[in-house]
Every structure is written in C-alpha cells, then in structure tokens.
Amino acid sequence: MTPLIATTAGGPLLVLAILLPAAGVLLSLALGGRAAEKVALGLTPLGFALAWLIAMQVAAAGAPLVYAIGGLPPPLGIALRADGISAVMLLVTAIIVAAAGFYARAKFATPDGTAESRSALTFWIMLQAIWAALNLIFVGGDLFNLYVALELLTFAAVPLVCIDGRPETLAAALRYLLFALFGSICYLLGVALLYGAYGTLDISLLSQRVQPEAIVWTAAALMTAGLLAKTALFPLHLWLPPAHANAPAAASAVLSGLVVKGSFFLALRLWFYVLPALPSAAPGAVLGALGSAAAVVGSVLALRQARLKLLVAYSTVAQIGYLFLVFPLGLGAHAWSALGWGGGLMQILAHAFAKAAMFFSAGLLAEALGHDQIAGLRGAARALPLTFLTLGLGGLSLMGLPPSGGFEAKWLMLRTSAASGQWIWSLPILAGGLLAAGYVYRILAPALAEGEIELRARPQRARELIALALAMTALVLGFAPQGFFDFIEIGRPLAAMSAP
Amino acid sequence: MTPPVLAGLAGAALVGFGLYGLILHPHPLRKLLAFNLIGSGVFLVFGIVARRGAAAGLPFDPVPQAMVITGIVVAFAASALAVALILRLAAVSGKVTLDPEAWAKTPSTRPDGGGGQ
Amino acid sequence: MSVLPILDVGLAFLVVGLAAWTVAARNLFASVVGYVAYGLLLALVWIRLYAPDVALTEAAVGGGVTGVLLITAGKRLGALEKDEAGATPALALKIVAGALALFVAGALAWVVVTLPDPAPTLAPAAAAAADGPGAGLGNPITAVLISYRSFDTMLEKVVLILAVIGVWSVGADSAWGAAPAPLGRPQPAGAMVLLAQILAPIGALIGVHIFWVGADAPGGAFQGGALLAAMWMAAMMARLTEPPRIDARWLRLALVAGPAVFLVIGFAGLGLAGDFFAFPPAFAKPLILFIETFMVLSIAVALPLLVAGPPNGRSAR
C-alpha cells in the first residue's frame, strides 16, 4: 500500500468537518420548528474552528492530511484528503455560510410561539446541507464519494431557488435541477469508465495509473462536460441567471459565491490531480476558450439587465469564465504554472466574497425600495450609503481594479499569459474588466445622481455590516502575502517541478 | 456476443436515446424520462464493469454493484423532486414550460427582489 | 448458439426498443407507460449480469415505486399537454441532437467493448476481506455498502431526506404540517382493496425477510425497505390508510433514524475500534444489522413520502 493513503495526524478532523453539518441537518429535521435555526447558527462557530484547525494542521505538516474512513484504506475503502486548496475552501465556506446565516435571520427567523414554517425549515436545513456537501467536495478523495457529494449539493441547492413559490421560481428551480442531473449523470458515466479501466476511484491511486488512452479521454470529456453544466460555463449557463436572481438574497449569495465553485473545484481536482498524465495543451485551450467566451458574453448580458439581481447573476456567468483560464494558464509542469494556479485560486476567493457581498446588498436594497429595478435607483446612494459602498467595493473586485482580490487574480493571470507566451488569454481578461466597469457604473451612476427616493424600510445596520465585511475581505485579499501562495501549493501534483 | 458486451452496447444505446430526448423534448416530464434512460444506461455500464471483474470465486465485482444500488436510490429521489416541481408548477400556473422568455413577460417583484413568502 | 444468448439478444432489443418508444412516443402518457415497462424489464437484464441485488433494487424502485410516481404525474399532466402541443422542435435541432446522441453513444459503445482485458477488479480484495471488518457477512455487496463504502451509504440516506424536504417545500405555506393528498381515488376499485389487503402483509413479511437475509444472501436494507415502502403505498392507494401529517414527530424520527444511528455508531467507532465508521470485529455483524434495521425504517418511510408529494389542504393545528 502506498504511504499516501495512511491516515495522518489531524485526519479525523476531516470527517468531523463533513459530519458536523450533516448531523445538523438530521437534528434540525428531527426537532423541527425553531430548532433548525438554532442548530444551524450554533454550528457556524464550530465549523469555522474546525476549518481553522485543519488549515493549521496542513500548514504545520506542509503536506495533505489524510483519513482512511473506518481504517479501511483505498482501493476498497474511501479516503479523505485535505491539501492547501481544500483548507482554504473550507475556511471560505465556513465564513460565507455563517454570514448568510446571520444575514438571513431577519427573513427566516422563527420567533417564540410561532409554528414551524415551510420556508424557514427549508432554508436552515438546506443551508447546512450545502455546507456538508461542499466540505465533502473539498476533502473527498474518492470519485464516487464525490458523486454523492455533488448530488447532496444539488438536492440542497434546488429547493432554495423556489423557496418563495412563485411560478417563475419553480420553473427556474426545475431547469436548474434538470441541468444539474444531466451534469451528475455525465460525471457518473466517466466514473464508471475510469473504474472499468483501472479498478479504483481513489484520486491518488488513479493519478499513478492513468495513461493517455481512449477510455481516459472519453471519461475526462464526459466528466468535464457534466461539471461544466453544473458550473454554468457558457454555453451551458442558461439556467443560472433566473435561478440565482429568484432565490432569496441570502441563498443567492451562497449559490453564486459557493455552490458553483463546488463543481468547478471538482473540475480542478479532475484535471490537476487525477489526470496530470494527460497532455494538457488541447483541453486547456478548449476550456480557456469557453471561459473567455463566458467572460465576454456574460458581461455583455449583464450590461443589458433591467433588474439589479439579474445583473449580478449574469456577472457570475462572466466571472465563472475567468475561473476556467486556470486550465490553459496553470495546467502542466511549466515554470509559470504555479503563477496561473495562484491566479485561478485567487479568482475563486475574490469572486466568492465580492459576489456574496453584492447579493446581500442587492437584497437589502430591494427590501428598502420595494423593487430592484436599476432605472429606479436615482438618488438611492444617499439614502443607503453603506449598501452602495458595499456594492461599489464588490464591483471594484469584479472589475479587477487595485487594490482588490480581483485585481490580484487578474494580474497573476496576465503575468502568466505573458510568461507562457499565451498572449491570447490577456484579451478576454482585459475586455471582461472593461465590460465589468460598464455594468458596475450602470448601478452606481444613477444611484449617485441627485434624486428623491422613498424608503419603505431602513435596512438593519447589522445586515449592512455583514455585507460590507465580505466586500472588505474581497478587497483585503489583494494584499495576500507570499505565504498564502505557498500554502495553496501544498499537495498540488507537479508543484515541485514548477516552483517559480 | 457475451452478456456483458451485449449489455454494454444496450447501455450505450440507452445513453444515446436519452440524450436525444433530453435535448429535444420541451416537456419537463419527457426530459425527466430521458434523464432516467441515460441513468439506467450508465448503471448498465457499471453492471458490465462489475461482471467483467468476476474473480476469486465471486461472479461479479461487488464494488460497482454497490455503487449502482446507491445510484438507483439517488436517481429515484431526483425523479421525485422533479415530479413535485413539475406538478406544483402546473398547479399554480397552468403551464409547465421551462422557457425563461415565457416567464420574463410577467415579472413579479418581491420585497427583496426575489424572496418573500 | 444456445438458447440463452438468443434470449439475451431478444431481451436487449426489447429494452432498447422500449427506450426508443419512451423517447419517440407522441403522447405523454404513452411515453410514461413505455418507461415503466422498461424499468421492469431492466430487472431481468440485471439478473443476466449476475447482479441479483441490483435486480431486486431495480424491480422495487425502478419498476414499482418510480412507476407509481410517474403514472400519477403523467395522468395529472395529460390534460395539460394539449395546450403545448404546438411546440414541436425544429428540424435543425433534431439533426444536431441526433448527431450528438449518435456520437456519444458510438464513442461509449467503442470504449465499453474495448475495456481492458483482464479487467481490473476489487473482487479478490472484497472476498478476502470477508475475514476482515465486514466479518461474518456472506453478501459482499452488503459488506461494501455498510463497511467499506459506509460514507456513500450514509450520505445517500441524507440525500433521500433532502429530497423529502425538497418535495415538501414546494407545497403552499398554509398547508405546512398537513398530510399529503391521498394516493388513491376516493372510491378505490374493490379488486385493488382486496389485493392490498392480501398483498400488503405478505409483501411486508417478504420485505423483512429480504432485509434479514441480506447480510448473507442477495437483498439487504435498501431492497427490504423498498419492498416495505411499496406495501405501504399499496395500502394507501387502496385507501386502507392515509398519508401521515408531515409534522408528526414519529415520522420525522423515522426519517432520520437510519442515517442518525449510522452516524452515532460511526462516531462511536473512534472509541470502540480506533477509527470513525470502524466496527470492532467481535460486534461487527450485530452492529451492522442494528444499523440496517433503522435504515430499513427510514427507507420504508422516505420512498412513499417522496411519491405522496407536498402537504395538501390547510394545516389545522
């Protein structure tokens, strides 16, 4: 047995990170009523502490944490594995889930003496389920176990889309479900082929056995196509805007900031960890081209939206596009790969925080004004200064202006495209940035103009501050020290060969 | 032709028919049936992998078979959720179209631009 | 050519033909009926692949429970369908979809036929492990499901629970807590009632038996639970009993019992056997049967609830 698959110190923490929110789901349903909210919010500090402990252990060991479940190592058993990027994603997820939970209390609280309500129970249970599913995706080491995680994520995310029950939200949820199911089944077919070819589904065992042969290319194509459908990469993006724009703001933030990153993360796992033996130029070029198209098309569509939440949702389509530039810029054992890898990871983080902050703000704004029509925002910035400050700071990161995480991500990607001689990828990065400036301007310009506006209700200061804190985090990411980039290198195959 | 090869070809055909129906049929229930065809085709691929893995006195490799059992449960749960959404959509709106254009014509804005009860 | 291969070829053609019918049928309900027949036939294919455990699952879930779900939905939607008959897909889309489907099916067929020989397998490892942590389990699939891939099995039950909540969540706010609509017609046919009265107890006994022997023979928690679920559904369709209120405490506890017990014993494994989800060898078999008992309960409750749909009417509390 390879030493890779023996349980390491700190390994049991990985099981806890998954089972804590999963136990929360079961407890919330069993107790019902007000308990769901208490359980979900009560778990957030514990979940954050676990993610922090895992990150500390990974940093201390300088190597991935491993846990063989039941003491039964792969290939017969299932292993969990946390490397640098797993630990970072666990932390980000814990923070954004907690922010969404506290932000959502205003809407989904069940006060003393009131009966259990449909929307509240659904929201709190599904929030925890998304958390459990994402944590498993980040630390899962077995491709079939990761399929179960993908399905958990789907079943948790879809009901959030139609939580308010209007017909158009039901249609959006149904479309989302069908796309997601199609994605999972494509992924599963690829898993079946890989097992048929190599007799294991453990990521590290597979990476040692995989050869560039027809069955592997077929499996890789199927799994990638499925994950693209779930990540809403152009041209499979049609389901995303109505789904993300129609959910309640707290759910939209989680769906746009985190859930689409789950399937993207698996695409990273697949190409960087399972298939490093495959030649990377052609798949990198295809994924990069689709990502570039998404960055441009998504931004253009965002420019044309009349509703703020739809604009923010289309901006997600565009920002997902940038993520896929990590494939041409980070795959392979080149001197510049680590730079592109860092840029891709920074883009995940910057977008997660910025987008969650913007959806929170869009929700506050819609509650205060009674609508979210961009045409009706004249003068709103004076009435809601904090909310618009958050939208502006989030927008700064989306545009990629310094100092922000979005800038850092794009700067790293631009440097990589120069260093690798792949100049072509700098075009969509620059064009997308300009277009993003256009749609952020569309929100801010009327709001900053003189005008009379009537507020239906003033948003709670605490909720405004939650959104602002996330936007500030997106900004601070731009100052990430070198230690951060060393940390996300931990456990990356080929990392040693491509150290800059 | 041995049963595994036959089942493999049948599985491929099922995936093909399902994919065709999933893309082509506008009705969500027809899409769901097509998705289930793809699903059973994929399970058959697991089935032949299991059968080909017969060894050590076992007529099959139990691991892929166990995965199919898990997969069938998940596929049923997916069908049930989809059916619930389709029936509810039909009940509240009288139509089951998924075309976003059809829904964009009648936007109903709620207090937070989406939520509301 | 002996008889069996001819039967195999016939079966394969029948299954693929029914799949083609499901896609090609003009009428929604005809398509649903085609699919349900297809699901039942698939069980036979699984028997021919030496997969009796999968065949049992496919017959109970793919054929039985899914059949009730889809036929009910098809009947309710059949009336609507005429309004949308105008939307026939364009020829160009047909050609593109056809070409894509053909390409994918062709590539898949090629890859499946040329799978490596000898095939890689975990069968020897699983057989050898009969002396290990799956000790005393004669059915290697049960050992894989409960011991080696316990994480899959436990989380898949959580998926089932999420689906139940998802189905409930599409109901009206005012109905929350109430029972789903009855499964059967107001006056069920006499034959249906008689059938359910005779079938339900026998089927339930068989379900318990399938679960109990599942440790050593084909069968197990899922198959047994699915059969129990089907019997409960038959009783509800004959109006011998009605769907329960979704806020009933016993119902909530029964739903979470399977994964919750699994989780608690999995945690206890850290103390008892040194690892999460490890079983102390001396108690492995009784512990596994204990977990499976609660799994059967959760499955038997979850499947009918998924078919019954969201709460209906007004919640009088």
Low-confidence residues in chain C, pLDDT < 50: 1, 85-86, 317
Q: Do A70 and C256 touch (CB under 8 A)?
A: no
pLDDT tens per residue across span A364-387: 999 999 888 998 888 888 889 999
- The pLDDT-based confidence of A92 (bands split at 50, 70, 90) is very high
Does the pTM exceed 0.90?
A: yes
Q: Is the pLDDT of residue B17 over 90?
A: yes
Residue C185: predicted pLDDT: 77
Q: Mind giving me the DSSP string for C158-215?
A: HHHHHHHHHHHHTS-GGGTTSPBPPSS-SS--HHHHHHHHHHHHHHHHHHHHHHHHTT
- The pLDDT-based confidence of A250 (bands split at 50, 70, 90) is very high
- Identify which of A287-296, B103-112, C228-237 has the greatest average pLDDT: A287-296
Tell me: cis bond preceding A75? Omega within 30 of 0 counts.
yes
Same-domain status, C30 and C108: no
What residues of chain A lie within 8 A of the CB of B70, using their CB?
A: 144, 148
- The residue whose two tokens read 């979470």 is C256
Same-domain status, C95 and C191: no
Q: Is the pLDDT of residue B100 over 80?
A: no
* Residues in Cβ contact with A359 at an 8 Å cutoff, skipping those fewer than 6 apart: A244, A249, A252, A253, A256, A257, A309, A312
Query: What is the SS3 assignment for A67?
Result: strand
Q: What is the mean pLDDT of residues A390-396?
A: 93
Q: Which two tokens stand for residue C208?
A: 């318990």
**What's phi and psi for C180, nearest 5 deg?**
-65, 165
> Which among A177, A304, A359 is the top mutation candidate for probing chain B, defined by the most B β-carbons within 10 Å of its own β-carbon?
A177
Q: Is the pLDDT of residue A260 over 50?
A: yes
By the CB < 8 Å criterion, does C6 face chain B?
no
* Residues in Cβ contact with A252 at an 8 Å cutoff, skipping those fewer than 6 apart: A244, A245, A309, A312, A313, A359, A362, A363, B114
Residue A9: predicted pLDDT: 83
Residue C132: predicted pLDDT: 57
Q: Which two tokens stand for residue C317?
A: 């509390």
Residue B104: predicted pLDDT: 65
- The pLDDT-based confidence of A413 (bands split at 50, 70, 90) is very high
Minimal CA separation from B114 to chain A, in Å: 5
The span from the CA of A434 to the CA of A432, in Å, is 5
Q: Is the pLDDT of residue A294 over 50?
A: yes
By the CB < 8 Å criterion, does C144 face chain B?
yes
Better pLDDT: C182 or A356: A356
Inter-residue contact C108 to A196 (CB < 8 Å): no
Helix (H) or strand (E) holding A131: helix A118-139
- The pLDDT-based confidence of A499 (bands split at 50, 70, 90) is very low
Query: Quick count: other Cβ atoms within 10 Å of Cβ A205?
Result: 23
Question: What is the percent of chain A with per-residue pLDDT over 90, rounded to a whole number?
Answer: 75
Tally of domains within chain B = 1
Residue B111: predicted pLDDT: 41
Q: Mind giving me the DSSP string for C214-266?
A: TTTSS--HHHHHHHHHHHHHHHHHTTSS-PPPTT-HHHHHHHHHHHHHHHHHH
Domain extent at residue B24: 3-101
Same-domain status, C178 and C163: yes
Tally of domains within chain C = 3
Residue closest to B25 by CA, chosen among A165, A230, C101, C64: C101
- The pLDDT-based confidence of A101 (bands split at 50, 70, 90) is very high
By the CB < 8 Å criterion, does B116 face chain C?
no
Q: Is the pLDDT of residue A454 over 60?
A: yes
Minimal CA separation from B110 to chain A, in Å: 7
Q: Closest to A367 (Cβ–Cβ): which among B63, B103, B111?
A: B111
- The pLDDT-based confidence of A136 (bands split at 50, 70, 90) is very high
pLDDT tens per residue across span B42-74: 999 999 999 988 887 788 888 999 999 999 999
Residue A41: predicted pLDDT: 95
Q: Is the pLDDT of residue A261 over 50?
A: yes
The span from the CA of C52 to the CA of C147, in Å, is 20
Task: Establish if B10 belongs to a structural domain.
Answer: yes
The span from the CA of C18 to the CA of C41, in Å, is 9
Helix (H) or strand (E) holding A218: helix A214-231
Residue A4: predicted pLDDT: 52
Same-domain status, C62 and C143: no
b or e along B21-47 (b: 16 or more beta carbons within 10 Å of the residue's beta carbon)? bbbbbebbbbbbbbbbbbbbbbbbbbb
Task: Establish if B24 belongs to a structural domain.
Answer: yes
pLDDT tens per residue across span A320-345: 999 999 999 988 888 888 899 999 99
Residue C316: predicted pLDDT: 56
What sign has the CA pseudo-torsion A96, A97, A101, A104? Answer: positive
Q: Is the pLDDT of residue A305 over 60?
A: yes
Same-domain status, C71 and C94: no
Same-domain status, C37 and C166: no
- The pLDDT-based confidence of A496 (bands split at 50, 70, 90) is very low
Strands (E), C104-148: none
Same-domain status, C45 and C68: yes
Q: What is the mean pLDDT of residues B77-103?
A: 86
- The pLDDT-based confidence of A252 (bands split at 50, 70, 90) is very high
By the CB < 8 Å criterion, does A430 face chain B?
no
Domain extent at residue C313: 122-317
Q: What CATH number is associated with residue B80?
A: 1.10.287.3510
CB pairs under 8 A between A and B: 148
Q: Do A76 and C108 touch (CB under 8 A)?
A: no
**What's phi and psi for C290, nearest 5 deg?**
-60, -50
Q: Do B26 and C89 touch (CB under 8 A)?
A: yes
Task: Establish if B76 belongs to a structural domain.
Answer: yes
* Half-sphere exposure in the Cβ direction for A490 (13 Å, CA): 24
**What's phi and psi for C179, nearest 5 deg?**
-85, 155
Q: What is the mean pLDDT of chain A?
A: 91
* Residues in Cβ contact with B108 at an 8 Å cutoff, skipping those fewer than 6 apart: A166, A168
